[in-house]
Structure 1
Amino acid sequence: MRYIQFVLCLFLLPVVTAYSQTDYKIVTASERGTYIQIGRDLAKWVAPPAMINLEVLPSNGSAENVKRLRYEAGVKLALVQSDVYQAFVDQAAAGNAAAGTLINPLRVVLPLYDEEIYFVTRADSPLTYIHELKGKKINVGPVGSGTALSATTLYRLMFSTPLPESDASYLSNEEALLKLTNDKTLDAVVIVAGQPAKLFSEMAPEARQYIKLLRRDDKAPEIARAVTTYYPANIRSKSYPSWMTEDVPTLSVKAFLVTYNYGKESTQSSLKMFAESLCANFDQLQTQGHPKWLEVQLQMPVLGKGWKYYPTMERVLRSCIANKSRPSQATSPSPVIRNCSQQEKVLGLCRM
């Protein structure tokens, strides 16, 4: 009898093993950005207890992430900037069918943290403030990236006009910084990344001889228009002590963890377990993960019009929040993005 039980166990073991681990993917951003480190933290501390093998994939940023979450096999989670998500929502509401197809089935898991926006110029540049960028040559990041959307949206908000195509370039951060400091055909490079960002952390003290950060001037009317959508923030010198000597006031945008409105029972079950693990291991993320986790709160504020939480995970997280602390009822921002051909371009919704 025992022999029969043993044989049955041998036959059943591969079946149990096969179903014990689920392979999922999360799309983030560049290899030297903050998103990919947040993704790796989730893969290390949250996914394993949920019986998920979470592969962390680099990308060009938020706009690309929306598309990959929607269509790429295995991608179940994505990190997306709030202004990018809102831009798709606005485009869908304005009648853009492609935008609606992409964004309508997506759901928010959890608001995360604010990402700082770096306005980089040469150390010898006469520019000092962000609102002095009108008419300058600016690298906004690759087409399809969240940075490109943020940079062009900010320009339009501040100066009430789109960034002229003749003044825009779409290089990667690294390529743009080299071009900024070498051939001087650029006046500024816009980079969106939560501090401390690897790109800037790896800079040597000599970096201050080549670059500096433009500052936010709250007295400028251009900044007053920008903060209707974005948030005041500071890039702290302690984040980059090797080359920064003082804090620099700037702007920021919110990061969100996003998924799809999955109806399949097995997927719902796996994502429910992921939410349970996120709750159970949240303290570990804050103590051992990227410093940005210290800015994340287990809260589920009211979302803007057109935004929805994923019910399967929402129920778990709200229960978790109720057990840990009183949930916040603060309303998250609902930025308004005007339609324009440049916006559709950086979102990848129109042909180049």
Structure 2
Amino acid sequence: MKILALIVCVLLMALGPAHAQTAFKIVTASERGTYIQIGRDLAKWAAQPAKIDLEVLPSKGSSENVQRLRFEPGVKLALVQSDVYQAFVDQAVGGNAAAGRLITPLRVVLPLYNEEIYFVTRADSPLTYIHELKDKKINVGPVGSGTALSATTLYRLMFGSALPEANASYLSNEDALLKLTGDKSLDAVIVVAGQPAKLFAEMKPEARKYIKLLKLDANAKETERAVATYFPATIRTASYPNWMSEDVPTLSVKAFLVTYNYGNESTLTSLKQFAEAFCANFDTLQAEGHPKWKEVQLDMPALGKGWKYFAPMERTLRNCMAQRTRAVPAAMQAPVKKDCSQQEKVLGLCRM
């Protein structure tokens, strides 16, 4: 009996790892945003085939994601806006030790898509254009969110000074929209989300009685300063047919999939398998995932100064990309504590 029990034990030990799922986490953004849907797509079509149980976690947004990726156990992946990542890099280069500790060990997996920036005001507001927001009361999103960083950075770029704290509020999107249309103590609410965003897609036709979107004026001098960092975009009527009657020009920011510079062999193996599965199922992601996947290119362009790809996943992805290219006929190939600045505050560095 002892021999039989030993044989069974050995067999179970041998079979166990073959069926075991590696447990990872990815931090995204709000439950009603685009990031969390992208995270769920990755869990289904990249993590599962790689035998990874990827838990998709909501968060305040990109700034919080950087910190959770750096310090929270189990968090191996994060979705981060390009301007947030760059802001941490800039703070580190400028001598902020806390920012350096956060951003230096992080690595880019892949650039994804551009996220639209929504400048929401009341339907009866006299405001029409984004550059008319100077000195207005604006909700920039929760402290620690990518939206707060984008909103405050944009204001500073466009108007040459920080948004006065007396004019800034840091409410969630939902709470801010209620204040905007309720007690009217806000002039505008800024939201960053890839279209179609659940927050706006679920609005009823009556929404047009209460809110409208401000437009980007390509000829405004403020716009010229903004597009040095952000990208022109269009919020399409097709994304929100219930309440939008015309396309609205706006600005956008790039989303990135980010990880840590891991050295543990087990983690490296799992992340390389994740990269292989992502590449192998990329067509499925584009066909069946969130519409934003259709804007993602399976490409690894040069990154900005201070940014680095995660080398093990980069090699895996580049090899897979090369194989995909060879498989397509040539004719079909597509070409320290101190007074905090507003930027440090929204990045969550003041407490560090």
Name stretches of at least 5 consecutive residues in structure 2 with no aligned partner: 327-339
Question: What secondary structure is seen at the aligned counterpart in 1 of 2:186?
Answer: coil
For 2:47, the equivalent position in structure 1 comes to 47
SS at match of 1:69: helix
- CA-CA distance at 1:13 after TM superposition: 2.2
Q: For residue 238 of structure 1, what is the aligned residue in structure 2?
A: 238
Distance 2:149 2:15 in 1: 45
Please identify, of 19-28 and 209-218, the stretch whose mean Cα deviation from structure 2 is larger.
19-28
The C-alpha deviation readout for 1:12-52, integer Å capped at 9, x for no partner, is: 32553256210000000000000000000011111111110
What's the offset of the Cα at 1:323?
Answer: 2.0
Q: Aligned-pair distance for 1:325? A: 3.3
The runs of at least 4 consecutive aligned structure 1 residues that moved more than 3 Å come to 4-7
- Aligned equivalents of 1:59, 1:287: Cα separation in 2: 27
2:88 match? 88
Tell me how far apart the structure 1 counterparts of residues 320 and 143 of structure 2 sit (CA, whole Å). Answer: 38
Report the alpha carbon displacement of residue 6 of structure 1 after superposing the two structures with TM. Answer: 9.6
Deviates more, 1:18-27 or 1:313-322: 18-27
> What SS is found at the alignment partner of 1:271?
helix
Which residue in 1 is equivalent to 2:190? Answer: 190
Q: Which residue of 1 aligns with 2:313?
A: 313
Q: Secondary structure at the match of 2:233?
A: strand
Q: Which residue of 2 aligns with 1:209?
A: 209
CA distance in 2, matches of 1:304, 1:287: 30
1:105 aligns with 2:101: no
- Looking at structure 2, the residues matched to 102 and 15 of structure 1 have their Cα atoms a distance apart, in angstroms, of 39
Q: Please list the CA deviations of residues 63-107 of structure 1 after superposition, one character each: whole Å capped at 9, or x if unmatched.
A: 000000000000000000000000000000000000000000000
Aligned residue in 1 for 2:69:
69
Moved more, 98-107 or 17-26: 17-26
- 2:15 paired residue number: 16
Residue 265, structure 1, aligned to residue 265, structure 2: yes
- For normalisation by structure 2, the TM-score amounts to 0.93
Deviation of the 1:11 alpha carbon: 3.7
**Aligned runs of 1:162-177 on 2, under 5 Å?**
162-177=162-177
Name the SS for the 1:325 alignment partner: helix
Aligned partner letter, 1:12: L
Residue by residue over 1:252-272, the C-alpha shift from the partner in whole angstroms, topping out at 9 and shown as x without a partner, is 000000000000111000000
- Residue 333 of structure 1 corresponds to which residue in structure 2? none
Query: Could you say which residue in structure 2 is the equivalent of 1:330?
Result: none
Amino acid at match of 1:165: E
Aligned counterparts of 1:348 and 1:210: Cα–Cα separation in 2: 33
Which residue of 2 is the match for residue 255 of structure 1? 255
Amino acid paired to 1:343: Q
Q: Distance in 1 between matches of 2:239 and 2:192?
A: 15
Say which is worse superposed, 39-48 or 189-198, in terms of deviation.
Answer: 39-48
What is the rounded CA distance, in whole Å, between the counterparts of 2:201 and 2:14 in structure 1? 46
Alpha-carbon distance between aligned partners in 1 of 2:245 and 2:69, rounded to the nearest angstrom = 40
Match of 2:287 in 1: 287
Aligned to 1:152: 152
Counterpart Cα distance in 1 of 2:350 and 2:98: 9
Cα distance in 2 for residues equivalent to 1:184 and 1:14: 64
What's 1:28 paired with? 28
Distance, in Å, in 1 between the alignment partners of 2:230 and 2:184 is 29
For 2:236 and 2:349, the matched residues in 1 are separated by 36
RMSD: 1.7
Q: Give the SS at the match of 1:155.
A: helix
The answer for the alignment partner of 1:121 in structure 2 is: 121
With the length of structure 1 as denominator, give the TM-score of the two structures. Answer: 0.93
Higher mean C-alpha displacement, 122-131 vs 315-324: 315-324
Deviation at 1:182, TM superposition (A): 0.3
Q: 1:106-139 deviations in whole A, cap 9, x for unaligned?
A: 0000000000000000000000000000000000
AA matched with 1:291: P
Q: Distance in 2 between matches of 1:193 and 1:100?
A: 27
The SS at the match of 1:55 is: strand
Moved more, 18-27 or 141-150: 18-27
Deviation at 1:324, TM superposition (A): 2.2
The letter for the 2-side match of 1:16 is L
Indicate whether 1:322 and 2:296 are aligned.
no
Partners of 1:303 and 1:255 in 2: how far apart? 13
Deviation at 1:8, TM superposition (A): 2.6
Instruction: Give the share of equivalent positions with the same residue, in percent.
Output: 76
Amino acid at match of 1:8: I
Give the partner amino acid of 2:260.
Y
Determine the C-alpha separation between the residues in 2 that align with 1:227 and 1:48. Answer: 39
CA distance in structure 2 between the partners assigned to 1:145 and 1:120 by the alignment: 18
Distance 1:250 1:312 in 2: 37
